[in-house]
Structure 1
Amino acid sequence: MLRLSPDHIRLPLLSYSAIGIITLGLTNSCKENKPAIVLEPEATEIVIPMDRNNLAQTTGTSSFLHNQADSKVHWQPWSKNVFKVASGENKTVFAFIGDGTDSHSLSILKKINDSPATCAALNSSHINVLVDANQHQDLAFLAASLNVNTGTSVNSPQLVWFSHEGIPVSWTSINNNNELNIHELISRMSNTVTHLWQDDPSYVLSNSRTDFIRRLEAIKPEVVEEDDPIAPIRAVRQAGSMFDPTSNTIDNLIGLFPARYTALMTLSAYHPDISDIKRKNYSDIAKSTAENIILAGLIDPLDGGSFSGIQQATSALPVFAKTLPAQTSTAQALYRLYQLTKDSQYLTAADAILDYTEKNLALPDGGYAMGIIYADHDIVDNPCIWTLEEIEAALTEEETKLCVQAFEISGLGNIPLIDDRNRSYFRKNTLTWKLSMSELATLTGIPQESLKEKLESITKKLAKLRTEKSATRVEEKLTTTDSMAALASAYVSAYRASGNQARLEKAKGILTFIQKNCIDGSGTLQRSRYNGQLLDSQAHGIDYVKVSRAALDLYEVSQDSTWLEWAAKIHQQMNSRLSDAEFSSLSETDGSTYPHPFKIRQFITIKPLNNECTWGIAYSNAKRLENNLGGTDYAKQAHNIRLHLLSMTDRAPLASIDFLTADAQLNLKTVYLKAPASAELLNAALPHACQIVHVTADGSYPGLKDDASKLTSGGAVVKQGDKTLGTAASAQDLDKLLR
């Protein structure tokens, strides 16, 4: 792997501290003197000239790609054919990896488009590929992994220069600091790669190939020799210590959705093997992060949706985009917190997020858009930023006073220095709730019902004004299978928290849509849809695990065994395509779309990327399938994946957040209901944070063990781990056992 920095050429050593950060593997490893890889022609090949921008000619695309169809850069969509052309023209391939829900990516593309010199340089030196990270999450993970391993910060967008063999030669990501010099950055790296390639392409091919394979093959997830049930508890304790109650911030969050942290703390508060003091601590952390970061920061008071993250240190300056993953993650975390606390503010906020999702992200074909950008990356003309004068002009004097109190609006601005060190936001304000309804009622002396009406009037006026002054509203209408499956799971959580039957029907409708519209003629799950059509894009590992998880969630609450059968079918399809024979490793794709067959293993979360961990969710699914169906393969896979994931929980708890969350959920109380379960008992179990297993006469339930004889018709057995907590024949008895 020949890593070319903007300033000099060097051959970097990969730090073994990065073992806890990424793993990638390569099949068909090459020896030092192995000749260049021969790219076999595909069965059906359409030759497209690449001396022009071809994004408008492609069907497998997205809003992100379509919006660059008029760019002067000769952009191509990602395909193996690009590398065949590069080989024939003896060129390298330049890949820009960004997405349509990231304003920074769009800002950088605009800067490139506005520079004829940069466009000309890219066109003359490389075959240029525009990669949508929402479609090709695997490639975004690959680029982020390379940046982590060479000590480069991970940001979006990411730039990678490939040889025509498909081996990365050089890479970087663009942060706010080097954005102003984007033309110089690209020029330096592009010139270095091009000159070295022109001088001695065989040297670049040989060194990039052998070094890339050798170093990345050496970095694989370690395997612990024995299971350590206490390791996740230690890691959660370490994660809990990252919350600062004084500043209400989470250390080292770096791009991760705060809701994922809140969900981890919420579920960990139920763990049977922690002290009551630690249980209260986790509960308090979950409530503090939800109230001070989510409700008083990321929730948009003008429409109820959740912004996609934090730009700097606090939620006073959010990322002004609302993505589908942000909505589902935040809503589900709030529903779970409501189950823990029964505090209605969490239920109300979560319901508002799902209502926002239906109003703004639902598509006519039944799918859901990936998200909306509400403001340019640049500060100027940001419709989500307000001056006191704007608010005074839009509202009455009484409304202005109330607005100033609710949102702490100031003539000098309300964005703290820690988020705005160069004072770019001087005299600017964001609208985030600074006081709860009860606190505001106490401060103003206005009854809460009257206060609610006044605030609704204020937010409606400001929402209308924001729409009128909005210079930018960019929608990404791509639909991905994993994001829809996550939404289905969020609706199941909504049903469990509220008992609202309409939420359950919505979950069923989304999974039914996936069954009918996200599977090709051969029965294979696909990753994405666009403009009402299924794209030729085989599902990634993350698609399989989220669909299987959602089907399992739906089975628990509905007793409909067809969802359990489908969950098992999707899991098995994933294993047949992406797992090794020992069920101990999962690749994100089968490598068929790569010019060189990478094996990208997404077993960890790279925080700035905010990716979800396929391995952590697969582990949970395998355990749940084992609990419902029995079978040694499920048990073997769960055990093998767990031994890999345990190797890094102590070193990188937030990077292991999906595994830790899954482990906490698997340690919840489990209710075994004799199928068909009585509506009384099922309805008693649903509002509680518990797992539900429907026991049939011909099933195998390894978790039940000797308690099977205690399970009578119309009854329930409650267990937590190997401990039997009791039996229940009535809703009242079951409710007591689950409290």
Structure 2
Amino acid sequence: MADPANLLGQETSPYLLQHKDNPVHWMPWGPAAFARARAEGKPVLLSVGYAACHWCHVMAHESFEDPTIAAMMNDLFVNVKVDREERPDVDQIYQSALGLLGQQGGWPLTMFLTPEGEPFWGGTYFPPERRWGRPGFPDVLLGVSTTYRQEPDKVVRNTTALKDALHRLAQNRPGAGVDVDLLDEVAARLVQEVDPVHGGIGSAPKFPQTGIVELLWRAWKRTGREDCRAAVVTTLTQMSQGGIYDHLGGGYARYSTDQEWLVPHFEKMLYDNAQLIDLLTTVWQDTRDPLFEARVRETVGWVLREMVSEPGRPVGGGFAATLDADSEGEEGRFYVWTWAEVDRLLGDRAETFARAYDVTERGNWEGTTILNRLKRPEPGTPAEEGALAEMRAVLFQARGARVRPGWDDKVLADWNGLMIAALARAGAVFDEPDWIAAARRAYDFVRTHMQDADGRLWHSWRAGTLRHRGTLDDQAAMARAALALFEVTGDGTCVEQARRWAAVADAQFWDTESGGYFLTAADATDLIVRPRNAQDNAVPSGNGTMLGVLARLWLITGEEGWRRRADALVTAFGGEPGRNFFPLATFLNNVELLHRAVQVVVAGDPAAADTGALLRAVHGAGLPTLVLTPVTPGTALPDGHPAAGKGMVGGRAAAYVCRAMACSLPVTDPAALAALLREDRVTPPPAP
């Protein structure tokens, strides 16, 4: 066995590289670490975090950089560091184990394992000495090590109980199916959890919960329930005017520490912003709220300006993962302002800006100001808003001279899939071809640089190096991205690519015994359990996303095999909503797609004005279950499609609207098409 040392300098993950100079003898996750633990008779200390995580940085500075604490770690444990963004499978298993121990999950995750990878105790952040009701980390280290050596029976009891429980969590709960009435019942229950004043679910801390917010919006579309509509509009308005939004550079932080959306943890994640771009676009289609359009445009601007990995290089085009919360060792320092700074930069305009953005001499957070418009959310006149935009530009330029937060530029296939789909759809809705082009570049990057010849995706790419075979989430999110690009470009090769990625999911991830997809592939051998569920986490559920992919493949191709697989997937998790529907939003939203899709076929030359006018009518409609099939001259719809055999009319572009596998007569007038698409948009609620 090689001499112990910190081995993270050989990694590519920015998070792991942040820890390469710790005096801790960190090892990456892998067989070598567990072999060392067995050889030395030591337990494993597993530490999981990510590059943009503020409390991960705090624990690193307080404990992992401390020579005395590091010496204890090296003496008592084999220490393994994991980037949760690179290994979401590892993170999910041990977060679940922590939950089974009755503790709240989060990052940094600190778990103690046997040399076989079996968890027996853990927590999250531990301070270097006892404070805030938490034990000091040295005391934890000594106590866990002593228990491991002196009370092996207790460790065995814990590991056995946790392993059994983890295997039970991976067992799906099948059911006969899920109908739309159940979706309405779920929405009626969930809307009661929304803060009626500030929006969002519950109290502090508050996360965007985009899947749930979309579920409520869909419920309003189906039933006309005004409380569902109000919950969505309030939530998005308060978030978009709060401090969780970067009013100078665009983009949303990961969550708010308070119930008013004022104080965020300042890290910006690609996945949050992808989901919010998509949701804001959906809600804007019905509300036409200029605030929502502005936030989409500004957030896309931030993505294309700051989140393209290796821009300008031949391999550029993929989207980077995160921006850190910290700079110069302080959380939020890059983003906050003092009254003196604003006054110096804006002069006689400072008072006007301060009134709009809550800037005071005392500040609203730790003596500084987080820019927000919560106290003055209503827009001013066009002239007033134009003047504020000029002032924001001055501050934005000045902010550019500050030390920037850390940038995690690794490209993750699943997160890129989310952003590709969001940009493609938003680009079509807001008539921004550059957004669609950016989505296509990222799609081509992943397809070219991150998949094997057999169509299997890798999860992570950085600096020319691939790491970690893909999970279900990678296959599902990129298949969804391919279909989104097809719907806005008509490029049939995207459908073929989606087929291949879906076929890989079936071959490598499907459970042939109980149904449903595992998170990890059949040949993944370094985990104690194969997770399987339909629950959303920070990103949408892989099983929920796959349900949408299967439904769209069936609707676009007319091939019944995709429908049968979708039905089997619904059945595999059909018993879950009756037990705990809260984390199932993506799955439930795609159940609606499967049952209530609105299929629109637009046949015509994509460069022709009449085709463009029909497509604009489609993209302007608020249809969460829209499945669009562009048909170019010389191509035909597949035989199984309900509009098979239909095309242009008298040389003019024509549209067909299909519901429940029955299609309308051809429509050539954009206004008539818009009216037809509105017919089933809102079903009035039943009389009391």
Give the AA of the match of 2:168: A
TM-aligned CA distance change 1:650 to 1:459, over 3 Å: farther
Corresponding residue for residue 551 of structure 2: 623
Distance in 2 between residues matched to 1:684 and 1:159, nearest whole Å: 52
Distance in 2 between residues matched to 1:239 and 1:253, nearest whole Å: 17
Q: Normalized against structure 1, the TM-score is what?
A: 0.82
Cα shift readout 1:575-614 (whole Å, capped 9, x = no counterpart): 21111226822111126555444201242124xxx23211
TM-aligned CA distance change 1:430 to 1:381, over 3 Å: closer
**C-alpha contact 1:328 1:486 (8 A) present in aligned 2:** yes
**C-alpha contact 1:105 1:156 (8 A) present in aligned 2:** yes
Corresponding residue for residue 681 of structure 2: none
Percentage of pairs with the same residue = 18
Higher relative contact order (CA 8 A, sep 6+): 1
Shift of 1:136: 0.7
Corresponding residue for residue 509 of structure 1: 441
Which region of structure 1 is more displaced relative to structure 2, 111-120 or 191-200?
A: 191-200
Cα shift readout 1:153-179 (whole Å, capped 9, x = no counterpart): 112111111111121122222389999
Corresponding residue for residue 246 of structure 2: 300
Structure 1 residue 719 corresponds to structure 2 residue 658 = yes
Corresponding residue for residue 414 of structure 2: 482
Distance in 2 between residues matched to 1:635 and 1:582, nearest whole Å: 19
Give the AA of the match of 2:278: Q
Shift of 1:357: 1.1
Shift of 1:232: 1.6
Question: Which SS does the other structure have where 1:431 is aligned?
Answer: coil
Corresponding residue for residue 684 of structure 2: none
Structure 1 residue 110 corresponds to structure 2 residue 33 = no
Cα shift readout 1:312-340 (whole Å, capped 9, x = no counterpart): 32211122122211221222222112212
Distance in 2 between residues matched to 1:227 and 1:258, nearest whole Å: 22
TM-aligned CA distance change 1:624 to 1:253, over 3 Å: farther
Q: How does 1:375-390 map to 2 (within 5 A)?
A: 375=326, 382-390=333-341
**C-alpha contact 1:551 1:566 (8 A) present in aligned 2:** yes
Shift of 1:566: 0.5
Corresponding residue for residue 683 of structure 2: none
Distance in 2 between residues matched to 1:562 and 1:381, nearest whole Å: 44
Give the AA of the match of 2:425: S
Shift of 1:376: 5.9
Distance in 2 between residues matched to 1:187 and 1:549, nearest whole Å: 47
Structure 1 residue 70 corresponds to structure 2 residue 21 = yes
Shift of 1:632: 4.4
Structure 1 residue 409 corresponds to structure 2 residue 380 = no
**C-alpha contact 1:591 1:597 (8 A) present in aligned 2:** no
**C-alpha contact 2:327 2:406 (8 A) present in aligned 1:** no
Which region of structure 1 is more displaced relative to structure 2, 110-119 or 459-468?
A: 459-468
Cα shift readout 1:298-318 (whole Å, capped 9, x = no counterpart): 321121222222123221112
Question: Which SS does the other structure have where 2:488 is aligned?
Answer: helix
2:391 paired residue among 447, 458, 468: 458
Corresponding residue for residue 515 of structure 2: 584
Question: Which SS does the other structure have where 1:370 is aligned?
Answer: strand
Cα shift readout 1:248-296 (whole Å, capped 9, x = no counterpart): 443168553254444333344333xx2x3x1x43333222211112244
Corresponding residue for residue 371 of structure 1: 322
**C-alpha contact 1:480 1:527 (8 A) present in aligned 2:** yes
Corresponding residue for residue 433 of structure 1: 373
Structure 1 residue 139 corresponds to structure 2 residue 90 = yes
Cα shift readout 1:699-718 (whole Å, capped 9, x = no counterpart): 2446x3xx768877654332
Question: Which SS does the other structure have where 1:270 is aligned?
Answer: helix
Distance in 1 between residues matched to 2:210 and 2:471, nearest whole Å: 24
2:276 paired residue among 330, 335, 340: 330
Distance in 2 between residues matched to 1:289 and 1:68, nearest whole Å: 38
Shift of 1:151: 1.7
Q: How does 1:214-225 map to 2 (within 5 A)?
A: 214-219=164-169, 220-225=171-176
Corresponding residue for residue 643 of structure 1: 571
Give the AA of the match of 2:184: I
2:162 paired residue among 197, 207, 212: 212
Distance in 1 between residues matched to 2:192 and 2:126, nearest whole Å: 28
Give the AA of the match of 1:403: F
Corresponding residue for residue 669 of structure 1: 598
**C-alpha contact 2:637 2:645 (8 A) present in aligned 1:** no
Structure 1 residue 152 corresponds to structure 2 residue 88 = no
TM-aligned CA distance change 1:388 to 1:149, over 3 Å: same
Shift of 1:721: 4.0
Distance in 2 between residues matched to 1:493 and 1:331, nearest whole Å: 9
Corresponding residue for residue 682 of structure 2: none
Aligned residues between the structures: 658
TM-aligned CA distance change 1:523 to 1:247, over 3 Å: closer
Corresponding residue for residue 339 of structure 1: 285
1:495 paired residue among 399, 424, 427: 427
Corresponding residue for residue 677 of structure 2: 738
**C-alpha contact 1:336 1:493 (8 A) present in aligned 2:** no
**C-alpha contact 1:605 1:654 (8 A) present in aligned 2:** no
Shift of 1:684: 3.0
Corresponding residue for residue 556 of structure 1: 487
TM-aligned CA distance change 1:266 to 1:363, over 3 Å: same
Distance in 2 between residues matched to 1:670 and 1:513, nearest whole Å: 30
Give the AA of the match of 2:449: N
**C-alpha contact 1:167 1:596 (8 A) present in aligned 2:** no
Shift of 1:377: 11
Gapped regions of structure 2 (runs ≥ 5): 679-688
Corresponding residue for residue 525 of structure 1: 457
Distance in 2 between residues matched to 1:464 and 1:50, nearest whole Å: 50
TM-aligned CA distance change 1:177 to 1:121, over 3 Å: closer
Shift of 1:192: 3.3
Q: Normalized against structure 2, the TM-score is what?
A: 0.87
**C-alpha contact 2:126 2:136 (8 A) present in aligned 1:** no
Question: Which SS does the other structure have where 1:319 is aligned?
Answer: strand
Distance in 1 between residues matched to 2:327 and 2:30, nearest whole Å: 30
Give the AA of the match of 1:434: L
Corresponding residue for residue 534 of structure 2: 603
TM-aligned CA distance change 1:539 to 1:252, over 3 Å: farther
**C-alpha contact 1:234 1:650 (8 A) present in aligned 2:** no
Corresponding residue for residue 534 of structure 1: 465
Q: How does 1:245-324 map to 2 (within 5 A)?
A: 245-251=196-202, 254=205, 256-271=207-222, 274=223, 276=224, 278=225, 280-324=226-270
Distance in 1 between residues matched to 2:52 and 2:160, nearest whole Å: 36
Distance in 2 between residues matched to 1:107 and 1:287, nearest whole Å: 36
Cα shift readout 1:172-222 (whole Å, capped 9, x = no counterpart): 223899995799443343333322332365x46754553333333334332
**C-alpha contact 1:50 1:127 (8 A) present in aligned 2:** no
**C-alpha contact 1:94 1:160 (8 A) present in aligned 2:** yes
Shift of 1:621: 0.9
Distance in 2 between residues matched to 1:484 and 1:183, nearest whole Å: 37
**C-alpha contact 2:45 2:112 (8 A) present in aligned 1:** yes
Q: How does 1:86-235 map to 2 (within 5 A)?
A: 86-174=37-125, 180=131, 184-199=135-150, 203=153, 206-219=156-169, 220-235=171-186
Corresponding residue for residue 685 of structure 2: none
Cα shift readout 1:7-32 (whole Å, capped 9, x = no counterpart): xxxxxxxxxxxxxxxxxxxxxxxxxx
Which region of structure 1 is more displaced relative to structure 2, 113-122 or 209-218?
A: 209-218
Distance in 2 between residues matched to 1:311 and 1:630, nearest whole Å: 47
Which region of structure 1 is more displaced relative to structure 2, 284-293 or 192-201?
A: 192-201
Distance in 2 between residues matched to 1:176 and 1:299, nearest whole Å: 30
Distance in 1 between residues matched to 2:597 and 2:454, nearest whole Å: 38
**C-alpha contact 2:267 2:325 (8 A) present in aligned 1:** yes
Corresponding residue for residue 418 of structure 1: none
Shift of 1:238: 1.9
Distance in 2 between residues matched to 1:467 and 1:292, nearest whole Å: 27
Structure 1 residue 81 corresponds to structure 2 residue 14 = no
2:620 paired residue among 667, 687, 693: 687
